[in-house]
Amino acid sequence: MRDAMCVTQPLLPTILAIDTAADVCSVALLRAGEITERSERVGHRHSERVLPMVEAMLADAEIELADCDALAFGAGPGAFTGLRIACGIVQGLAYGAGKPVIAVGNLEALAAAALRQYPKAGRLLCANDARMREAYCAVYDREGDRPVERAAPALVAAADLAALVEHWAPDLVVGDVATAFADALAAVDSTRLISMCAGAAAIAACALPRWKSEECMAPALAAPLYVRDHVASTIEERRAVRGQTR
């Protein structure tokens, strides 16, 4: 969605990006065309570490939050609590500073990072461990230097990954499933399995073209991308269920 706050744009924007979708908490700053990233493996301590990391990042760059042109976050799919933390933190910071928000899918960011690293790859199946022997996965094709979604992010059983590889015939299978579910992918040529992750730096890189095409939103409109059924029931849904049981 386009927002009026994106109309007047600097040639090289400054974008602060946050990612807490997995057990690694990362913050990145895109400034003058260069990206700097801080990351920590924090487990479930994202809420404790993300704001100090933001403050340290801004202090190192000798800028204030008001100097940023937009804030971006990893919208998911990923850990339920982590996605809510990233979205909530970015909403609060952006609202207070009067800045727009850019939501970037984590699997898209992973695909973009992989396409830069593997320039001969044309199709990617991006898949990350979702716990409980399940994976978040999506399929992307290369269009220039950007990923184009062919299959939207979805939750699949680890046992179905090999069948998905056969169906989509990707050049590479990218993500932490290459190691997390090596047994389920044993029949796939190991040269096609790339274990890699993408954090806030990849989110910032994907946010740049969105900024240029004015794909920004007001903070209140930002929302995580959930794909696991029933985990992310809305308040209204929960109220409806309670009402039916009274």
Domain residue spans of the chain: 4-106+199-229, 107-194
In 98-199, alpha helices (H): 106-117, 161-168, 177-180
CATH (one of 3.40.50.1460, 3.30.420.40, 2.70.240.10, 3.40.50.10810) for 107-194? 3.30.420.40
Which of residues 8 and 242 earns the better pLDDT score? 8
Q: Would you state the pLDDT for residue 42?
A: 87
For residues 181-188, give the mean pLDDT.
96
Q: Interior CA angle at 86 toward 236 and 200, to 5°?
A: 145
pLDDT at residue 50 is higher than 60: yes
- What are the tens digits of pLDDT across the range 68-89? 999 999 999 999 999 999 999 9
Reported as a pLDDT band with limits 50, 70 and 90, residue 9 is: low
Q: Would you state the pLDDT for residue 192?
A: 97
Q: Would you state the pLDDT for residue 108?
A: 98
pLDDT at residue 17 is higher than 90: yes
For residues 45-61, give the mean pLDDT.
95
Report the topology of domain 4-106+199-229.
Answer: Nucleotidyltransferase; domain 5 (3.30.420)
Q: Which of 207, 206, 198, 202 is nearest to 68 (CA)?
A: 207
| Residue whose entry in the numeric block shows the structure tokens 């299959």 | 151
Q: Would you state the pLDDT for residue 215?
A: 92
Asked if domains 4-106+199-229 and 107-194 share a fold, the reply is yes
Q: Which of 104, 80, 102 is nearest to 91 (CA)?
A: 102
Reported as a pLDDT band with limits 50, 70 and 90, residue 46 is: confident
Q: Edge to edge, what strands does the sheet with 123-129 contain?
A: 146-157, 134-143, 123-129, 172-174, 193-194
For residues 126-130, give the mean pLDDT.
97
For residues 193-216, give the mean pLDDT.
95
pLDDT at residue 245 is higher than 70: no
DSSP H or E segment with residue 50: helix 46-61
Q: Would you state the pLDDT for residue 44?
A: 83
pLDDT at residue 238 is higher than 80: no
Beta strands in the chain (DSSP E): 15-19, 24-31, 34-41, 70-76, 101-105, 123-129, 134-143, 146-157, 172-174, 193-194
